Amino acid sequence: MNEQQNFAALNPDRVIDAVESVGFVSDLRVFALNSYENRVYQFGLEDAEPLVVKFYRPGRWSNAQIEEEHRFTQQLSDADIPVIAPWRNSGGDSLFEHDGYRFALYPRRGGHAPALDDMENLFQLGRLFGRLHLLGETEDYHHRPQLTPASYGTASREFLLEHDFLPSSLRDAYQGISQDVIALIDEAFANVAPRNIRCHGDGHVGNILWRDGDTQLVDFDDSRMAPAIQDLWMFLSGDRDTQQGALLELVEGYEEFREFSPRELRLIEPLRSLRIMHHAAWLAQRWDDPAFPLAFPWFNSERYWGEHILSLREQFALLQEPPLALQA
């Protein structure tokens, strides 16, 4: 049974059976939440607040990799860093399996994405990730992967070319610009030689729950060993002056807890380029999952690939510009 068939068979009855297998009693209300890589549901309980249940995509992570992520989020929670760690049973287990489906349970939390044009919000985000990285650097992941140019860039390029996703009219253009971009990324990583630490890995506003001044960081599914700047650069957008101002606020908050390495500023555009390449390959790799064409109908058209190549050309230019700096 392939991944598509596994998720296709994950109907509400199976969701209820799975969660009740670990001791909860359903009120029969199950609502699918927006999730594509995994399948995530809000699960109603009798006489209790609902839970969120996440079913892991078959074949993506090993049990050891998932449990390592869970251990990290529990360490962060125990240190009063505002993350949402998975529920554990009386035996300390957080990863469960029922009828061939692996899943974890989380308390439901509400909130909204923070406004990044508010400097105080950026300062608080810097403080949050400074605390997270201070604990994250105390030990390494031994099972979860490293973020490298090879894993996010070269592997993405090879997948797209080997599986003929590019229209023939654009294949040569993609092949050339992607190779040029990867060469500059490799050079930047070689020059900076960053130290990789345990990071959230997908630090964008969609993974921040903001409510009445309280912050919750969610979704460590992409957590891996990476340069610290990986958890910060996605909060930088707009023109250079806007990014420069945001960076200063982030780093000011960050350095209340952990020293920031200015050398890693040279990795902002390389990491942005890697994300662009990796995202295209991720969509391609999941295209057989029926949820993906429904959620991303604009993907895999000639127009999409033309715009993707244009984005890589823009990144090629940005990769040759001076990096942001820690002074205005």
Active site amino acids: 202, 219
Q: Contact at 8 Å (CB) between 17 and 29?
A: no
How far the first Cα of the chain sits from its last, in Å, is 56
Q: Any alpha helices (H) in the chain, and if so which ranges?
A: 3-8, 12-20, 63-78, 119-136, 149, 155-162, 168-192, 240-254, 268-285, 291-295, 302-318
- 75 three-state secondary structure: helix
And the tokens for 65? Answer: 């990799």
Q: How far apart are CA 204 and CA 235, in angstroms?
A: 6
The per-residue b/e assignment along 121-145, b for 16 or more CB within 10 angstroms, e otherwise, is bbbbbbbbbbbbbbbbeeeebeebb
Query: Helix, strand, or coil here: 266?
Result: helix
Are the CB atoms for 171 and 120 separated by under 8 Å? no
Q: What are phi and psi of 21, to 5 degrees?
A: -70, -20
d(Cα 21, Cα 133) in Å, to the nearest integer?
36
Residue 85's region, left for phi above 0, alpha for psi from -120 to 50, else beta, is beta
User: Quick check: 72 and 136 in contact, CB under 8 A?
Assistant: yes
297: tokens are 């109908």
Number of Cβ within 10 Å of residue 240's Cβ equals 12
| Tokens representing residue 38 in the block | 């995994």
